[in-house]
Amino acid sequence: MINLILFGKPGSGKGTQAEFVRKSYNLVHISTGDVFRTNIAKNTDLGILAKSYMDKGELVPDDVTIKMLEEEVNKNQRSKGFIFDGFPRTTKQAEILDKFLSDQNLKISMTIALDVDEKILIKRLLDRGKQSGRSDDQDIIKIQNRFDEYNKKTLELIDFYKAQNKFFSIDGSGTINEITQRLFKTIDKFKND
């Protein structure tokens, strides 16, 4: 079983690559954003609670987020593993996730960061913003703020997983296929060690 966390700044291709990994390794992709949207759309108790925070512009508390993730893991007990996308974002969240997984006799196998130069990311996001109409992908100041937020929170998380020898970084520049091949090579090397 492989349980991995995919990291990367906005525009790094996490969602695209997570889909390739999901299909190739038969894993369940758990995206925090998707889990929030599904729970809110279905009007679940957790969705209503999460929405109450989001409507006030507040972050959804860790305990609400982890309960949603627990439900996703529990619904997929027979899977070959999970890809966590968008969680954890802080060391505290990583510790909570580790404890939950440990209680299920599971653990994070590896974390992989898609490393891309910010100039390339800005171009990708601006291009994506033109196509999607997403306002947060069309404003360089908003994009830079998202990078700053990622840098602040994720650096401590990288150290957390490096200390466990579970952190890997791959070059996230180039074509989608080139990135996918680098990602698969990293996962396969880990699986075979």
User: What are the catalytic residues?
Assistant: 14, 89, 128, 134, 146
Contact indicator for 147, 9 with CB cutoff of 8 Å: yes
In whole angstroms, what is the distance from residue 124 CA to residue 97 CA? 31
Residue 74, judged by CB atoms within 10 A of its CB (0-12, 13-18, 19+), counts as exposed
Per-residue tokens: 9: 């700044």
Rg for the chain, CA atoms, rounded = 17
Contact indicator for 114, 6 with CB cutoff of 8 Å: yes
Contact indicator for 58, 33 with CB cutoff of 8 Å: no
Report the Cα 177 to chain-centroid distance in Å: 20
Q: Which residues contact 69 (CB under 8 A, 6 or more apart)?
A: 30, 32, 35, 84, 87, 97, 100
Per-residue tokens: 49: 């609670």
